[in-house]
Amino acid sequence: MKALLLSLLLVPALALAQAPVIEISGANFRPLPLAAPAPVLQEGADKKSAQSFDTAFTYDLTASGIFQVLDRAGFTADAKEGMTAGSINFSRWADVGAESLVKVSLAQDGGALRGELRLFSVATGKEELKVSKDAPAGEPRQLAHTLADALYRHFTREPSPFLSRITYVRKAGANRDVYVADWDGMNAQALTKGGTHILPTLSPSGQVAFTSYRKNRPDIYVQSPGGEAKPLVTEGQMATGVAYSPDGKRIAYALAEGESAQIYVASADGSGAKAITDTPYGLNTSPTWSPDGKRIAFVSNRGGSPQVYVMNADGSGVKRLTFQGNYNQTPDWSPRGDLIAFTARDERNAFDLFTVNVDTGKVTRLTQDQGNNEEPTFSPNGRLIIFSTNRNGGAHLWVMTSEGNNQVPLPMEKGNWLTPDWGTAPAAK
């Protein structure tokens, strides 16, 4: 696996007074060594909430791929050390290899849990960031994601993925049910209960569209958390694989009739559907939109084997993008626009994940020799990829950087979890 590319760039000249910026590109990347001791409890805060906060906060930082979160077992600083620069012995933090130190205090006032985060440069002892955020008292994980997002934004000047949502399918016996959860798979809510429901996708407004066999054939439904499922596409022999355009105003999906399946584009409510592929006896499936909404990538066997193609959103300008291997599927277009991640079956009949550069066609391998890895989905900022894998038995969801590094499992309970989709809607308040 190639090394993660990330470099620390100090803002030059005029911006010297500002905090350093982490730019996730370049050949000199190394994760930033970060010390993050357990949160300090202030008035009203309880240990259970603090533990839940700490678990989510530490996971966010670790899975981001831009921090090397140091092992607390090696810390030598006084456990009663304060929250301000004047009370901190920075030499103790330098001794354990920390370049940055982040401290959090928690306090509860009535129905609100308040967290105060302070970030320090270990080398200079300077406080670089101070931010306070509130969350409902029963939502310490929400507060953790919010403070982790503030820290991520400080270093990268980009929104983090920590406040986003994902959807996925849980396989249990004969049932396939759709869930919506926080980005790390926690705080999950079931949208369906019993039956076969597959291939969910999140709309920008937070609705979930999915393929359901509730009428003994695959149709597409749409549902809001807490709401009822409503038919979206019920035509043809088989309607599957819906994808929302980035502005949420259009959908693309595959509709099978006879011996072919074509890509259709319609308004988000399913009206005005129009086929944009026309390959008799050919299969065209798995559409995914470019971030500007002008193009669609999809899978087609028109060349004799399933490969990834791109075309304009009106069906013109079709171009084959993958040429290696004979079974490439489940494309997902990065929100950054440059890459499409996909699943490929290799010479050992194992499934692994790759990206292909949309402009150059360069293919990069992300997984290898770790079971079957499938169904990649990019984070809203394009920096991370969630995917399903059976590397430890069963089917689980893992996350890695868009370059295939720092692969870690989502902290979900045991079960079989499939077909993740990473949306852009914020987490529930």
Q: Give me the CATH number covering residue 98.
A: 3.40.50.10070
The three-class DSSP label of residue 58 is helix
Confidence of residue 110 (pLDDT cuts 50, 70, 90): confident
**CA atoms of 250 and 239, how far apart (whole Å):** 16
Tell me, yes or no, whether 232 and 345 share the same domain. Answer: yes
pLDDT at 348 over 50: yes
- 24 inside domain: no
Of 156, 186, 220, which marks where a domain is finished? 156
**Of 315, 312, 360, nearest in space to 340 by CA:** 360
Q: Does the model's pTM come out above 0.85?
A: yes
Predicted confidence at residue 225, as pLDDT, reads 86
Domain hosting residue 328, numbered range: 165-421
Predicted confidence at residue 249, as pLDDT, reads 97
For the record, the structure tokens of 349 come out as 């009949």
- 215 inside domain: yes
For the record, the structure tokens of 424 come out as 């852009």
Cβ proximity of 40 and 106 under 8 Å: yes
Predicted confidence at residue 288, as pLDDT, reads 98
Q: Of 15-19, 57-61, 81-85, 199-203, where does mean pLDDT reach its minimum?
A: 15-19
Predicted confidence at residue 79, as pLDDT, reads 84
**CA atoms of 347 and 295, how far apart (whole Å):** 31
Tell me, yes or no, whether 39 and 150 share the same domain. Answer: yes
Confidence of residue 5 (pLDDT cuts 50, 70, 90): very low
Tell me, yes or no, whether 226 and 128 share the same domain. Answer: no
Beta-strand ranges (E) seen in 87-137 are 100-109, 112-121, 127-136
Tell me, yes or no, whether 274 and 136 share the same domain. Answer: no
Residue 388 neighbours by CB under 8 Å, 6+ apart: 373, 374, 375, 395, 396, 397, 398, 417, 418, 419, 420
- 14 inside domain: no
- Per DSSP bridges, beta strands 189-190 and 197-202 are unpaired
Write the pLDDT tens digit of every residue in 220-269. 999 998 899 999 999 888 999 999 999 999 999 999 998 899 999 999 99
What is the residue whose two structure tokens read 């926690």?
A: 186
Tell me, yes or no, whether 215 and 127 share the same domain. Answer: no
Tell me, yes or no, whether 75 and 138 share the same domain. Answer: yes
> What is the arithmetic mean of pLDDT over 110-139?
96
Residue 175 neighbours by CB under 8 Å, 6+ apart: 194, 195, 196
Tell me, yes or no, whether 144 and 260 share the same domain. Answer: no
Write the pLDDT tens digit of every residue in 71-96. 999 999 998 899 999 999 999 999 99
Domain count, the chain: 2
Predicted confidence at residue 266, as pLDDT, reads 98
- Phi, psi angles (nearest 5°) of residue 77: -70, 155
Tell me, yes or no, whether 109 and 199 share the same domain. Answer: no
Tell me, yes or no, whether 233 and 179 share the same domain. Answer: yes
> What is the arithmetic mean of pLDDT over 337-341?
97
What is the average pLDDT score of the chain? 92
Which CATH number is 244's domain given? 2.120.10.30
Of 156, 184, 213, which marks where a domain is finished? 156
Of 134, 156, 178, which marks where a domain is finished? 156
- 341 inside domain: yes
Tell me, yes or no, whether 180 and 76 share the same domain. Answer: no
Q: Of 10-24, 110-124, 138-152, where does mean pLDDT reach its minimum?
A: 10-24
**Of 114, 136, 123, 203, nearest in space to 167 by CA:** 203
Q: How many beta carbons lie within 10 A of that of residue 257, not counting itself?
A: 12
Tell me, yes or no, whether 147 and 279 share the same domain. Answer: no
What is the residue whose two structure tokens read 């959090």?
A: 104
